Each structure stands twice: as C-alpha cells, then as structure tokens.
Structure 1
Amino acid sequence: MSVSRYPAEESSSMPKRVKMGIPLVLGFSDEDKIGTIQPHDDALVVTLRIGGYDVKMVMIDQGSGAEIMYPDLYKGLNLKPENLTAYSSPLVSFGGKMVVLKGQIRLPVQTGTDVVEVDFIVVDAFSPYTTIMGRPWLHTLGAVSFTLYQKMKYPFGD
C-alpha cells in the first residue's frame, strides 16, 4: 500500500492521521495447519462454555442453519421441560426423517470473553455430539471455521 504525503502533513503542529477504514481480514495460513494430522476429513469439534458449563464434543457446522442440542447435553445441564419454549417448525435429519423436537431454549455461549445468547433447538435424537453450532452463531460472532486446519477464527478486540 502506498501512502502519499502532503506538505501540510509534514508540519509538526499538525495532528497525526488516524488509520480508518482498514478492512478486517480473517484468513488461514499453512502455520495454522501445524498440529493437525494431514490428510483427514474430520469434523471441527471443540469445547465451548454453554450455560456456564464447559461442554465437550461441540460440532461446528457451517452447513447447519440452526443450533441443535442433543439429549445428553439437555440432561447434563439439568434442563427440564418447563425450561423450554415451543418450537413448531419441522426439522429433518441427515437421513431425511422427521426429528422429534422437545422445544427451544436460549442459553449463553462463551467464546473467549465474548458471550452470545443462542437459541438451541432441543431434539430427541442420537448424536455422537452434544450440540451443533451452525451459521446463526458463526455469523453473530463474525467467525470463520476451516475444517482442513481444525481451526476457527473470529474478530476479538483489536
């Protein structure tokens, strides 16, 4: 990037220009791949703080249009049916079958120091994961995930 100087800017009495409008770029480099076994086709699975608890086996899925909570996490957080609100939209599994919905619940999800309120659809279905975090959460954080490097990045502070 080139910067042109105007004679008036050379004067020591002039205030310094503040950098403005610098676009934020989130990207991945080969350094991000260090520590992963390549090649692989693994899902991106992380630990997140959900509802005040560290929750393991959370799948980050850019293909999901909703955040899904499975029975193990529902029970592990000691949630009760009275904690849920109704959720009436149909949900179809990967196999094309209708999924039994228990309802919806809003819980805080902490990533670093950022806390986002997330609406989880609670389902009655088996999964090796405790929850799926999809596009609504990723977009709220402004996050980018990359399964090849098993990493997720999002803007934080500066």
Structure 2
Amino acid sequence: MSVARHPVEADDWECKRVKGMASPILGFSDKDKVGTIQPHNDALVVTLRIGGYDVRRVLVDQGSAVEVMYHDLYKGLKLRPEDLTAYNPPLVSFEGKTVILKGQIRLLIQTDSNIVEVDFIVVDAYSPYTAIVARPWLHTLEAVSSTLHQKVKYPSEGQVKEVVGDQAMARQCMERFFQVGSELSPQEKEKLIDFLRKNVDVFAWDAYEASGVVLNFICHHLNVSPVVTPKKQPPRRLSKEHADAMREEVMKLKKAGAIKEVFYLEWLANTVVVKKKSGKWRVCVDCTDLNKACPKDPFPMPQIN
C-alpha cells in the first residue's frame, strides 16, 4: 500500500483556506458581564433597525417561535391594513387568552451590515415592548443570546459581532403601568383602561421619549430676579467614571432634543453624579445659586379686594 502525501506548501495553504472559511466560535464569559448590573433577572431588551427605523424596546425571546409586532410599532411605521397578509393560526398570550391578530408583514431587520427578512405577526394588544424577535431571527442570523450577559452574538465577515441589551430599558418596560382609581365603577374602569391601552403611545415614560416638543406650545421660564448677578461656579474635577456617566447622559438628552448646547453662558452650574440603587448613575445639576436667585411667591393668586 502506498500513501500519497501533499507537498508541505499545499498542506499549509489548505489549512489556511479551511481556517478562513470556518465560522468564529460564539460564547460568553465573565468578561461579557462587564458593564451589566449583577445579579439580575432582567429580560434582554435591545434596539434594532426594523423597516429602516431604529426601534427601541425590542424583546429578544429565544423561547418564542414567531416574531411579534405590537400596535405601537405598527402605528409608528405608518403601516396600513393593505400592507398586511392574512395570518390564520390563533395566537395565545401569556395569560392564556386568544390575541386579536391584524395580519402578517415581512420586514427587514438590520444589525450592522447584516440584513435579515423577518415575518412579523401584527397583534392588536398592549405591551410594554414594541416587538418580539424570536428563534426564526436568531437562527437566520446564526446568533446566540444570553439574558445573563445581556448580549446577542452572531458571526459576520469572519468576526463575532454583538447586539448589547439595555438593562435600564428592560426595567422600565417592567415598571410601565397606570394607577386607576379604586372608586371607579367597573364600567368606567373598563372604559378608562381600554382608552389608555389605545393611546399608550402618546405617553413619554422617560426624558428620552419626550422629544420634539414645540416651544410655541409649551415652554417653561425660570422666575429669576432681575437684580441678581448671574454666577458661574468654578469647575469641579470629575473622576473618569463620573465624567463618562455625565457625557453619556448629555448625549442621550441632546439626541432626544431635551437640551441644546449654548455658547453665551451667563449662569454656569456644575453637574453632580449620584449612584442610584439600581447601580446606574443619576446626573444632576447643582442649582444652589440659581434657586437663591428665584424669589418664592407664597401667594400665586392675585390679591382679591
């Protein structure tokens, strides 16, 4: 028996070719926990580009077999009934109730340079999430998700890329609720709850969702005494951790249009960074001097003779 052997150069070239074609290994380690709040029981909530728009509050649920779009996103994407195709199988909610379906629509989900076509079932029901992406999206993207590490990892162009979850957003989704008066009759309570569910998209649950406020419609002015000289506080040095938290918060507020940058400073106040119970940072402004300059009026109503 004779054994043929490729030249060394051919073997080397073949190994390099196989390595180049092999998909990267997807996995999670303790390094992936960095930047997350541990321990936790948070869901994996991400921001994805769906139908050409950046969509927040998307739940990644590897236990679900279908992708779901809720009414908020349906309205936000300005979809119409004629855009939908029929979807006959019934859908049962977590409470065991049959959910009303509007139909089905195919949209593109983009993660970095990867684009996947996904069939969404449009549901006419309230949810704190805008959509749910499930196993079909994960499998098509060849991705793995981890709620513990708050990440989705997927192979792309020979590299491992990530979609990072937002724990703060996940906790807000779990905390979104209305308090309804206990003295309302059952009929009034049912009507009010139905009204709130249909119009839940008009409520801003945090400062980042309250963007685009028209100043001609509403604008708040401080009652600063005209005799007070504007004061500029001397700058305070922030630690790197505090400075990063402050910079991130300012960029979020600027993106939402809640604040804007000015270059004609009269008042200057330092930021104060405080850690919340959740482990996140709260960025405040030291308005001590400004509060002293705003006279307090104990009689807001005019004097009546």
Q: Normalising by structure 1, report the TM-score.
A: 0.90
Mapped partners of 1:149, 1:94: distance in 2: 25
- Alpha-carbon offset, residue 17 of structure 1: 2.6
5+ residue gaps in structure 1? 1-5
User: Quick check: 1:18 aligned with 2:18?
Assistant: no
Matched residue, 1:139: 139
User: Quick check: 1:56 aligned with 2:56?
Assistant: yes
CA contact (8 A) 2:23 2:155 kept: no
Matched residue, 1:94: 94
Whichever residue aligns with residue 118 of structure 1, its letter is V
5+ residue gaps in structure 2? 159-305
Which structure exhibits the higher relative contact order, with contacts defined as CA atoms closer than 8 Å and separated by 6 or more residues? 1
Matched residue, 2:43: 43
Q: How does 1:44-123 map to 2 (within 5 A)?
A: 44-123=44-123
Larger Rg: 2
Matched residue, 2:169: none
Classify the secondary structure of the residue corresponding to 1:73.
Answer: helix
Mapped partners of 2:110, 2:74: distance in 1: 17
Classify the secondary structure of the residue corresponding to 2:13.
Answer: coil
Classify the secondary structure of the residue corresponding to 1:31.
Answer: helix
- Alpha-carbon offset, residue 122 of structure 1: 0.1
Whichever residue aligns with residue 27 of structure 1, its letter is G
Write out per-residue CA displacement over residues 96-143 of structure 1, whole angstroms, 9 at most, x where no aligned residue: 000000000000110110111110000011110000000010000000
- Alpha-carbon offset, residue 24 of structure 1: 3.7
Matched residue, 1:3: none
- Alpha-carbon offset, residue 41 of structure 1: 0.4
Mapped partners of 1:40, 1:132: distance in 2: 21
Whichever residue aligns with residue 66 of structure 1, its letter is V
- Alpha-carbon offset, residue 18 of structure 1: 2.7
Mapped partners of 2:25, 2:92: distance in 1: 35
Write out per-residue CA displacement over residues 43-90 of structure 1, whole angstroms, 9 at most, x where no aligned residue: 000000000000000000001100000000000000000100000001
Structure 1's 17 and 120: CA in aligned 2 closer, same or farther, altered over 3 A?
same
Q: CA RMSD in A?
A: 1.6
Mapped partners of 1:79, 1:140: distance in 2: 25
Classify the secondary structure of the residue corresponding to 2:140.
Answer: helix
Whichever residue aligns with residue 124 of structure 2, its letter is D
Mapped partners of 2:37, 2:67: distance in 1: 28
Task: Select the structure that is richer in helix.
Answer: 2
Matched residue, 1:129: 129
- Alpha-carbon offset, residue 25 of structure 1: 1.8
Mapped partners of 2:80, 2:132: distance in 1: 20
Whichever residue aligns with residue 105 of structure 2, its letter is I
Task: Select the structure that is richer in strand.
Answer: 1
Mapped partners of 1:7, 1:95: distance in 2: 64
Whichever residue aligns with residue 73 of structure 1, its letter is L
Mapped partners of 1:66, 1:85: distance in 2: 15
Q: Normalising by structure 2, report the TM-score.
A: 0.47
- Alpha-carbon offset, residue 23 of structure 1: 5.9
Classify the secondary structure of the residue corresponding to 2:118.
Answer: strand
Mapped partners of 1:24, 1:93: distance in 2: 37
